[in-house]
Amino acid sequence: MSPSAPQPLPGVEAALSYIEPTGEKPYSLEYEPPPGRRRSTAVHREHMVTIRDVRPIASSLSLEREGFQLVTAATSVGDFQDEEAIQKRYYAEAVSLLEKLTGSARVFVFDHTIRRRIPGATDRTHGIPRQPVPRVHNDYTVNSGRQRVLDLLGEHASALLRGRFSVVNVWRPIRGPIQDAPLAIADAQSVDRVDLVATDLLYPDRTGEIYYVKFNPSHRWFYASAMGTHEVMLIKCFDSAEDGRARFTPHSAFIDPTTPAGAPPRESIELRTLVFYE
């Protein structure tokens, strides 16, 4: 049973922050802005939406159809402050998981981010851990998905780009169960291409591009309640195929109004991977 069809699923009413189009391509500085320059020209506004708990239908989810999938995948890494363990053991576990689930010919993990929420803190501020992203977005665009392969894989990129590939985010709580600032994911089938707004991410040494997302009441939103450290959410952020399968899967952290007082702040890790197919 797919979340694409109406389901009597439990859920919450919560606010998600969508971009308001301004007529110009927005940008966001991914570093402390110099005096007199705005950190971002993107204007966001909150909309109340229903976010359904996907657990009753989790077994029906597909990266190819909805663009996300909840799976049980225990890890041997117990200390996510151990950078060596993450890059050697955790990366290898993610590669094995994605090869098994997708049937891919090659999986390449190219980076990871650990997020530890500090209420009221601003992301990309000196000395502050990376914060959950409270805006509806998709990590890659038509342009930046391809560019990531070119940037990372050098002389092998041209051959790999002749085949199909995708960018998959492997998202896991590192302290659970997650109750604070959980992750909302949109069913990719409910998102129209015109809802996606290309936005420049400006770094000191390069320019990236993501999609922010315009509000559309047709969007279908889901989350997995009380995710534990033994679970991962796979999110397809890009697919080079244009044959009707999921290509872009918007997502956002959100404030769950049912979160109990005193719930520990969210801690999570996300791996970004390139998945190549035959």
Q: Which amino acid is at 149?
A: V
Domain ranges for the chain, please list them: 11-276
pLDDT at 237 over 60: yes
Query: Does CATH number 2.60.120 belong to domain 11-276?
Result: yes
Tokens of 46: 């909150």
* DSSP class per residue in 18-52: EEE--SS--EEESSPPPTT--SB--EEEEEEEEEE
Give the Cα separation of 247 and 238 in Å (integer). Answer: 5
Q: SS3 for 153?
A: helix
The pLDDT value given to residue 7: 54
pLDDT at 224 over 90: yes
User: pLDDT by residue (tens digit) across 22-80?
Assistant: 889 999 998 888 898 999 999 999 999 999 999 999 999 999 999 999 999 999 999 99
Q: How far is CA 246 from CA 98, 125, 136, 156, 211, in A?
A: 16, 34, 17, 26, 15
User: Beta partners for 201?
Assistant: 28, 208
User: pLDDT by residue (tens digit) across 82-109?
Assistant: 999 999 999 999 999 999 999 998 999 9
Give which of 175, 157, 275, 271 is closest to 226, Cα–Cα.
175
Q: What is the mean pLDDT of residues 179-197?
A: 97
Q: SS3 for 263?
A: coil
Higher confidence at residue 66 or residue 1?
66
Sheet holding 267-276: strands in order across? 68-72, 231-239, 165-173, 267-276, 106-116
Q: Which percentage of the chain shows pLDDT scores above 70?
A: 97
pLDDT at 1 over 50: no
The pLDDT value given to residue 236: 98
The pLDDT value given to residue 33: 87
Contact 71, 86 (CB under 8 A): no
Q: Where is average pLDDT lowest: 59-73, 114-128, 233-247, 258-272?
A: 114-128
Tokens of 156: 């092998």
Tokens of 248: 């872009």
216 falls in which pLDDT band (50, 70, 90)?
Answer: very high
pLDDT at 5 over 80: no
Contact 94, 108 (CB under 8 A): no
The pLDDT value given to residue 93: 98
Determine how many CB atoms are found less than 10 A away from the CB of residue 128: 12
pLDDT at 4 over 60: no
Q: Give, in degrees to the nearest 5, the angle at Cα 139 between 133 and 144.
A: 145
pLDDT at 201 over 90: yes
Q: What is the mean pLDDT of residues 168-191?
A: 97
Rounded to the nearest integer, the mean pLDDT of the chain is: 94
